Amino acid sequence: MKRKFWIVGLAVMLMAAWSATAMAANYPKLREFRLERSMPQEAVACIECHKTEHPGMFSDWAQSRHASAGISCLDCHQADPNDQDVSLDHYKQYERGDNPYGKSEYKVPVTAVVTPKDCSRCHPDEVKQYSRSKHANTVEIMWKIDPWLNKGMNSDNERKTGCYYCHGTVIEMKDGKIDPATWPNTGVGRVNMDGSLGSCTSCHTRHRFSVEEARKPEACGQCHLGPDHPQIEIYTESKHGAIYNASGYEFNWKAAPGTWTPGVDFRAPTCASCHMSGAGTVKTSHDVTERLSWETQAPLTVRPVDFKPFPAQNDWKIERAKMSEVCQQCHGKNWVDAFYVDFDKAVEEYNEVYFKPAKAKLDEMYEKGALDKTKFFDEGLEVEFYELWHHEGRRARMGTMMMAPDYAWWHGFYECKNRFNRYMEEANHLLESGGKAFMYPTFPNATGDTTKPPKIFGKK
């Protein structure tokens, strides 16, 4: 009898253990961080010194959620003494006689470059999502497709102050300091010395790191504007932008991360609410390219998985379903489905009517010697072809996609027609006459280094 009870008891314990294991497998991963309400003296020294030296910086931090949670300068800026980007100049701050905190007892290694790897100590999921986005990998993408870089057609400083301001630099050290040719920079694809990609302060600007700021379209409009990708202008023209401009002051911008809800906290979407925020069963994501079904910035519009410079690791149909569900928080299914019919048709017409014939004509001119392949942009027809897809073609597709009629037509397909006609007329004339395109003999400032970044592409 005792043996029987022992066997039954053992079976019950095994079942309980199995049940506990099975249940544990279904639990979400817990965040691995803790908050300490007290600060070490070194952190206090940082705060007190910066309060007098950089009052604007201190004020931003003091009003941040970081400050409320006891996150100090050191939690983000502290470095290992052997890190390559440790600031040697900062050590001199601990040898001052005019500041009570400028003493060696507070000495700690710090770096100016706070990276996604640093942020991942508290925000692991967000950093993982961001790392697989085109934002994080935009330096690689840029070097794979951009003729300005690959043909050296602009200067290094033109790139640094223009292209790299948004795309990101490859951070380097020079003479014990961060190389000014690569810094300051908060580009979305910045290549950091610890191997991580990007800069969280591109959108959550320091030192407030405000979720409210990142939710507003102006955050994206820092980079997504101008003749080649005027998303902020397109958004402003759209009904979404009109509602935001009229009543955005009523929106609840301060809702906790992951809880910002259409119809409850806001009545019209921003860039973030469509591309990042959660809605319905769609979860929040820091991969801003996740919900795309077309690559409208590419020369030939393709599905994200077919974008050769950086193929997406997902199914566009699943991602379109996500975006559709986001739209259906405010629109009916028939409305959303009809919108995608228009969008897909615009993509088809751009590809078949404009881009493919123009690209075929460009290839023919290279093949027959009417154009020279040595450089790009030093012949007018190369510029015409480039702007057909990079300027008008993008505006036409993006204007349609974001429902801004002026950009879909007058700044878009209307300009595509004009550019296409001029381009084809001159191209056919050269081919029929056997002539060669005029080459600009003094193309200005074409001095840029054409070496691809070894940190991304490996050393030769």
Residue 269: inside a domain: no
Query: 64 and 100, same structural domain?
Result: yes
Q: Which of 186, 209, 232 is the last residue of a domain?
A: 209
Residue 280: inside a domain: no
| Residue-level pLDDT at 7 | 61
Query: 158 and 75, same structural domain?
Result: no
Residue type, 59: S
Query: 205 and 118, same structural domain?
Result: yes
Query: 125 and 108, same structural domain?
Result: no
| Residue-level pLDDT at 176 | 83
By C-alpha distance, which of 392, 436, 397, 398 is closest to 414? 392
Residue 290: inside a domain: no
Query: 197 and 129, same structural domain?
Result: yes
Query: 85 and 49, same structural domain?
Result: yes
SS3 75: helix
Residue where the block lists tokens 């052997």? 82
| Residue-level pLDDT at 441 | 93
Q: Which of 156, 188, 209 is the last residue of a domain?
A: 209
Q: How far is CA 122 from CA 35, 116, 131, 301, in A?
A: 10, 10, 15, 38
CA distance 339 to 400: 9
Long-range contacts, 129-132 (Cβ 8 Å, 24+): 129/285, 129/286, 129/287, 129/290, 130/198, 130/200, 130/286, 130/287, 131/196, 131/197, 131/198, 132/287, 132/313
Query: 204 and 136, same structural domain?
Result: yes
Domain that holds residue 106: 41-112
Query: 170 and 93, same structural domain?
Result: no
Query: 106 and 81, same structural domain?
Result: yes
Residues of the chain with pLDDT under 70: 1-37, 459-460
Q: Which of 82, 112, 142 is the last residue of a domain?
A: 112
pLDDT digits (tens, 9 = 90+) for 77-133: 999 999 999 999 999 999 988 888 889 999 999 999 999 999 999 999 999 999 999
Query: 100 and 120, same structural domain?
Result: no
Helix orientation angle between 414-433 and 380-387, rounded to the nearest 10 degrees: 150
Q: How many domains does the chain have?
A: 2
Residue 83: inside a domain: yes
SS3 271: helix
Residue 348: inside a domain: no
Residue 444: inside a domain: no
Q: What is the mean pLDDT of the chain?
A: 92
CA-based Rg of the chain, rounded to a whole angstrom? 27
Query: 98 and 163, same structural domain?
Result: no
CA distance 248 to 322: 25
Query: 176 and 157, same structural domain?
Result: yes
> pTM for the complete prediction?
0.88
Residue 255: inside a domain: no
Residue 135: inside a domain: yes
